Amino acid sequence: MNIFDNMTPEFQWWTMLTLVVLGTYFWRGLGVLLAGHVSQDSEVFKWLSAVTYALVGALTFKLILLPIGQLTQVPITYRILVSVICLVYVVKFKAGLSRGLILGCILMAGYGLYLSYG
């Protein structure tokens, strides 16, 4: 039997938040306890790092390609185009992350203006 079955949806939500807060803090706390005792070049670290990047990579692609909410009003081709332009701006033209973000926001705002008044 699932322990969540007898909970109200509100209580379920806050229980879930407690679990993920603990899951997040776990790594921070473990870092404090292990600091100075563990090599960062070990295979476990390499594996954890690859898993983290793959997960965040999947999340990023999902948010851009298959969003929910207001972003669905922007065509997928435009979302990809803005992402590519900003990435090229940051990588090829050595613009910092902040400038890349500002450019992306301006391009998205431009499409929003087109939707409102175009």
Partner 1 sequence: MGIRCLGHYNRAMDRILHELNSADTFSKGMKLGVKAGIYGPGPVLLAGMIGFGAMGHGIGLSWLQTTSISFLMYALPGQIVFIEMMSMGASSSVITIAVALTSTRFLTMVLTLFPQIPKAHKEPSRLLSVHLVAMSSWAFCMRDFPKMKPEVRYGYFLGIGLICWVLAVPGTILGYIVYEYVPIWIVLPLVFVNPLFFLLSFADVVVPLNRIAIVVGGLSGAFFYSYFPENALLMSGLGCGTLAYLYDYFKRKKSST
Q: Which of residues 70-99 bind partner 1 (CB under 8 A)?
A: 70-71, 73-74, 79, 82-83, 86-87, 90-91, 97-98
**Distance in Å, CB of 84 to partner 1, minimum:** 10
89 in Cβ contact with 95 (< 8 Å): yes
CA 100, CA 62: separation in Å to the nearest integer?
A: 20
Residues 10-29, interacting with partner 1 (CB under 8 A): 12-13, 15-17, 19-21, 23-29
74 in Cβ contact with 111 (< 8 Å): yes
Which member of 1, 6, 43, 77 binds partner 1 (CB under 8 A)?
43
Q: At what angle do helices 76-91 and 43-65 cross, to 10 degrees?
A: 130
Tokens of 9: 């949806």
Query: Residue 24 carries which side chain, given as an amino acid letter?
Result: T
Which member of 5, 6, 8, 47 binds partner 1 (CB under 8 A)?
47
- Residue 34 touches partner 1, criterion: CB under 8 A: yes
Which member of 55, 75, 77, 93 binds partner 1 (CB under 8 A)?
55
